[in-house]
Amino acid sequence: MPLSITPYIPEYITVHTGPASAQAENVTVTFSDYIKNVASSEIYPTWGESALRANILAQISFALNRVYTEYYPSRGYPFQITSSTQNDQKFINGRNIFENVSNIVDQLFTTYIRRRGFVEPLSARFCNGTTVTCDGLSQWGSEALAREGYDFLGILRYYYGDDIELVTNAPIAPVRQSYPGYPLREGSVGEDVVVLQTMLNRVGRSYPAIPAVSPVDGIFGPKTRQAVEAFQRIFSLTPDGIAGKATWYQLVALYVGLEDLSELVSKGQTFYRVEFPQGQVLAPGDRGDTVSQLQYYLSVLSQFDNYIPFLAVDGIYGPKTQQAVRAFQFRYGLPDTGTVNQATWDRLYREYAGISADVLERGDLFPPSGEGGGSPDQFAGEDLSLGSQDSQ
């Protein structure tokens, strides 16, 4: 979701062959063929290999940022990117592809740039550096640096800063929408609700009439409904408190703009941790949203570990919930008290997030360091989510 919980390489990408609002053909091609076309249209095949690699990685990252932020779909367009160089990258449908460019793209198209500690692919803007200048990479300047002996990562850091890193071997997947496919309403639980709550809180900082949702817990309760209703009233949507597709994508478009996620100066999305009130202990007899959240995580874990009994989500900490908690605690070397303190919660969320990211969403996303000293960080066992904040 995003946006997506984790970035991925789209199997195909749809390009609008003109400015977004112009009448023009939409062309769907594989992502690697799209990058080969852009690279063959934007740069010269005679440039040094380090310059070619730096430019191609910038082009990949920029395109992935457009996909990740749903920049055009959230505005109602049926494509992921345009061929207009005013806003995007040059794409010439049907053009010839340079052989050396094609070979480099085949090696790199599952690699992208991000800022260290952030989630989204860098919106790696660039310009030719002669007739047009910008804050991003200079295409001709990159060739000059290559002649001076810079490697491609050195070129990228020269223009984008020392705090960038490379993610290698990102998974390939069909383009997917962040909208969960059904309206979220009171009683909904899960990661989609976390994303909704996070977006509402960020938009609410700029629109104070939207009440804050606290804690961000993945449970669609009365506070979330009230925030949705307030948002809908402000933006002339039906104020029914249900997050349908129109409400969702209005939030996505606003969130992306407020956080500058589609800009080189993005504030950045970092690692997310669902809140657990400090000092709170959940025990038999407790009721409420936090108990439902506990039961939801345990129910997911039970599908991957037969030792943990399956648990229905009813918000009541009864004998079955206590049994599942004790089984989890014993399984992971914690005191099997049957109550949930901060240590149990931390381990429970870490195991849940590992399943959500590694199995449900990502697969083997970040292998050991890739070419060029890019040293991509492994996820630290915590899920990634739209607009998340560092838990440190």
Tell me what the mean pLDDT of segment 351-373 comes to: 43
Q: Determine the Cα–Cα distance for residues 191 and 176; give it in Å rounded to an integer.
A: 16
pLDDT at 233: 97
Surface-to-core class of residue 350, CB atoms within 10 Å of its CB (0-12 exposed, 13-18 middle, 19+ buried): middle
Q: What pLDDT, on a 0 to 100 scale, did the predictor assign at position 278?
A: 67
Q: Does 379 score more than 50 pLDDT?
A: no
**Maximum CA extent, the chain:** 72
Q: What are the strands, taking DSSP E only, across the chain?
A: 9-10, 12-16, 26-30, 81-82, 112-115, 126-127, 137-138, 164-167, 172-173
**pTM for this entry:** 0.72
The confidence score (pLDDT) of residue 353 equals 66
103-112, 229-238, 380-389: which has the minimum mean pLDDT? 380-389
The residue whose two tokens read 């993005």 is 266
3-class DSSP state of 227: helix
Q: Is the pLDDT of residue 324 over 60?
A: yes
Q: State whether residue 127 is helix, strand or coil.
A: strand
- Cα angle 297, 303, 304 (rounded to 5 degrees) comes to 100
List pLDDT tens digits, range 281-309: 999 999 987 888 788 889 888 888 889 99
Q: 116-165, pLDDT tens digit by residue? A: 878 899 999 999 988 888 889 999 999 999 999 999 999 999 999 999 99
Question: How far apart, in whole angstroms, are the C-alpha atoms of residue 191 and residue 189?
Answer: 7
Q: Give the per-residue pLDDT at 275.
A: 61
171-189 pLDDT per residue, tens = 899 998 889 899 999 988 8
pLDDT at 383: 32
Q: Is the confidence at residue 367, as pLDDT, over 70?
A: no
Can you tell me which residue has the tokens 């020392």? Answer: 162
